[in-house]
Amino acid sequence: GAVVSQHPSRVICKSGTSVKIECRSLDFQATTMFWYRQFPKQSLMLMATSNEGSKATYEQGVEKDKFLINHASLTLSTLTVTSAHPEDSSFYICSARVSGGVTGANVLTFGAGSRLTVL
């Protein structure tokens, strides 16, 4: 089945530094990937839609200059948290839309998530 690999799984950084999280589709091509943020005991909040070869689409309230998204190939999307601060500490999860089957219907396959802690 479709597998999405996310790296790193955990990262600790100092305030003011930047952190890059990678999301790879291992055995399929993903023209669209999604980045979510999840706070403890809360649901997934969509941050942005990453489109291969074009600019990402950000949800309302998400700072595009702070959360840089690059989708340079059909198997890789990256999220860079720039000038990170403690309030950016969270669980970041990527997903890719997987299409297939008779109907061409699609589902989302998620990476394992990246826990960011900003000191």
Residues within the interface to other proteins (CB under 8 A) = 4, 6, 32, 34, 41-44, 46, 49, 91, 93, 95, 103, 105-113, 115
Q: How far is the CB of 43 from other proteins (least distance, A)?
A: 5
Query: Which of 33/81 has CB closer to other proteins?
Result: 33
Tell me whether residue 8 or residue 16 sits nearer to other proteins (CB atom).
Answer: 8
Six token digits for residue 116: 């960011």
Closer residue to other proteins, CB minimum distance, 82 or 99 = 99
Could you tell me which residues come within 8 angstroms of residue 77 by beta carbon, excluding any fewer than 6 positions away? Answer: 22, 23, 30, 33, 35, 50, 52, 69, 70, 71, 94
CA 114 and chain centroid, separation: 9
Q: How far is the CB of 119 from other proteins (least distance, A)?
A: 19
Alpha-carbon gap, residue 50 to 57, rounded angstroms: 7
Residue (74 or 113) nearer to other proteins, CB? 113
Q: How far apart are CA 82 and CA 97, in angstroms?
A: 26
Nearest-approach distance from CB 51 to other proteins, in angstroms: 10
